[in-house]
Amino acid sequence: MSGAWLRGWALDCALGADEDACFAAVAAGKPPVSKLRLDNFNEPFALHYYRIDDGADLFDPARLARRLPGVVAAAVDTAGLDARARRALPIFVGSSCFSIGESEARYAAALAHDPDAALAMPCVGFEGIAASVRAAIGSEAPSYTWNTACTSSANALLAAQRMLAAGRFENALVIGAELANLTSLAGFAALQLTADAVRPFAAARAGIVLGEGIGAVVLSATPRGAPPLCLVGGAANCDRYSVSGANPDGNSIAAVLRTALATTGTAAEAIRGIKAHGTGTAMNDAGEARGLAQVFEALPPVCVLKPWIGHTLGACGVNELALFAAALRRGVLPGAPDAGAPDEALAVGPLAADAPAAPGRYLLNQFGFGGTNTVLVLEWAA
């Protein structure tokens, strides 16, 4: 099988700072969501949020520099890469926060000190994450930083998989990072897409709940790891219906699902389960459900992870892959807490309780603003 083997991964999210902590929190059954109040607006607002509980000021711009190295080190150490492999390790980053939080903090401080001289967006460019990781692991290989909204890190994974399959690298480090910033919080609040709880595909779904998370995955052209998990490929397309939502008729999502299956030589009946994008918004869930219905005569088990870690935006591809892979390692497909009654019009009932997972192929869906749809095909090799 040509593809990219998951050689190591790590996740730091609202559930916990490592895999064991995450699954202990899942076992406890209570989503780590809390209420966040933003008073620094003329019209203050509150929203629910899955934050990384590090005790720090949520908007401390140093948080990324404090949290990221540990996640990267855990993934790279687990992968067992030696010094030569680390030097040759390309870095693929998918994010939607980058240095936005630091820009906001510096601009706010400048406004307080001297409003006339204050400069918005003092930090420009997207390279901060890759540059800090490069220094930390000693990589001398290229970096690729993706900014395609909520599919950013999924597209980073897909690009890394393709470059490995094409023989351009032996290994690749793929990072997803999303930490709190005002732009994302206020932007989604302004779009009126936020809700008190995330209930994908439920009749009572009301919107998304944002979250923080940093994930890292080491992919390798060489099989290694238990269980042997391989990113065998996937597909991306562009949905021209709306810049801020998938077509609710499901056609573009069906198209990307079909391409992902066809290009990986996978029959729909061979899919053992689906990690849905499942944002809990009316439009996304309708498009995703109708797209799935067009492709699958009998829908495999569908699991949703955003009720556990929130929507980590551009990082969700890597973060949810890391959590999903960890669940497969435990032999389960995670159920969702507080799932609510399914919307009968959508005919997708995500798992409300853990279900056994079996070797075989799984789909991982991600969809984002700008019409970006990305589907990954993951195999748990027997």
* Listed residue (241, 274, 248, 243) closest to 260, CA to CA: 274
Residues 304-323 as x/- pattern, contact with another protein by CB under 8 A: --------------------
Contacts with another protein in 220-249 (CB under 8 A)?
235-240, 243-244
With contacts defined by CB under 8 A, how many residues of the chain interact with another protein?
A: 69
Q: Give the three-class secondary structure for 267.
A: coil
Q: Which of 119, 262, 270, 358 binds another protein (CB under 8 A)?
A: 119
State the minimum distance, in angstroms, from the CB of residue 350 to another protein.
26
Contacts with another protein in 40-59 (CB under 8 A)?
40-43, 45
Q: Which of 49, 308, 369, 380 binds another protein (CB under 8 A)?
A: 369
**DSSP annotation string for 19-49:** HHHHHHHHHHT----EEEEE-SSSS-EEEEE
Q: Is 178 in the site for another protein (CB under 8 A)?
A: no
Neighbour-count burial of 72, counting CB atoms closer than 10 A to its CB (0-12 exposed, 13-18 middle, 19+ buried):
buried
Helix, strand, coil shares, percent, the chain, to 5: 35, 25, 40
Residues 6+ apart with CB under 8 A from 4: 160, 161, 164, 165, 172, 219, 220, 221, 230, 231
Cis peptide before 307 (omega within 30 of 0): no
Neighbour-count burial of 158, counting CB atoms closer than 10 A to its CB (0-12 exposed, 13-18 middle, 19+ buried):
buried
State the minimum distance, in angstroms, from the CB of residue 148 to another protein.
4
Q: Is 270 in the site for another protein (CB under 8 A)?
A: no
Q: Which residue's CB is nearer to another protein, number 254 or number 303?
A: 254
Q: Which residue's CB is nearer to another protein, number 319 or number 366?
A: 366
Count of CB atoms within 10 A of residue 138's CB? 10
State the minimum distance, in angstroms, from the CB of residue 146 to another protein.
6
Q: Which residue's CB is nearer to another protein, number 349 or number 370?
A: 370
Residues 55-94 as x/- pattern, contact with another protein by CB under 8 A: -----------------------------------x----
State the minimum distance, in angstroms, from the CB of residue 326 to another protein.
28
Count of CB atoms within 10 A of residue 84's CB? 9
Among 15-23, 104-112, 194-202, 283-291, the segment contacting another protein (CB under 8 A)? 104-112
Q: Residue 71: what residue type?
A: V
End-to-end CA distance of the chain: 12
Helical spans, DSSP H, in the chain = 19-28, 63-79, 83-87, 100-113, 128-137, 152-165, 182-190, 251-263, 282-295, 306-309, 316-329
Q: Which residue's CB is nearer to another protein, number 146 or number 201?
A: 146
Q: Which of 20, 57, 77, 140 binds another protein (CB under 8 A)?
A: 140
Tokens of 80: 């067992």
Q: Is 149 in the site for another protein (CB under 8 A)?
A: yes
State the minimum distance, in angstroms, from the CB of residue 381 to another protein.
22
Q: Report angle CA 84, 89, 93 to the nearest 5 degrees.
A: 160
Tokens of 320: 């949810």
State the minimum distance, in angstroms, from the CB of residue 19 to another protein.
29
Q: Is 254 in the site for another protein (CB under 8 A)?
A: no
Q: Is 282 in the site for another protein (CB under 8 A)?
A: no
Q: Which residue's CB is nearer to another protein, number 105 or number 321?
A: 105
The site for another protein (CB under 8 A) is made up of: 40-43, 45, 90, 96, 100, 103-104, 107-108, 111, 115, 118-122, 124-127, 130-131, 134, 139-149, 151, 155, 159, 162-163, 165-166, 168, 182-183, 186-191, 235-240, 243-244, 252, 255, 263, 368-372
